[in-house]
Amino acid sequence: AIAALISPYRADRQRLAETFGDRFAEVFVRADRTTCETRDPKGHYRKVREGTLGQFTGFDSPYEAPETPALVLDTDAAGIEENVERLRAFIRTRYAS
């Protein structure tokens, strides 16, 4: 299963890695704040800037970037198709039976 989520703390991700062992792979989908704001269909970033939404990761709530992710998908440097193919190749290589 692939779970796409914001997990802001390294310690939480480390617990998952310890729990799931080799079945767990941390994939860091990198996007700078400006990119995230332009891709925000729900207007969360606007609400944060207006002061109507608090405890938002990367603004007034911390985010600890991965130190050694198994894969980095840089969405500022590559498009969707390229990143999807990189993820597929990673899965094929790491989890091939």
7 is catalytic: yes
Distance CA 75, CA 72 (A): 9
Distance CA 31, CA 79 (A): 12
Which among 2, 3, 6, 7 is annotated as catalytic?
7
> Six-digit token pair at 1?
């299963």
> Six-digit token pair at 71?
């894969």
Q: If DSSP codes are grouped into helix, strand and coil, which group holds residue 55?
A: coil
Catalytic residue IDs: 7
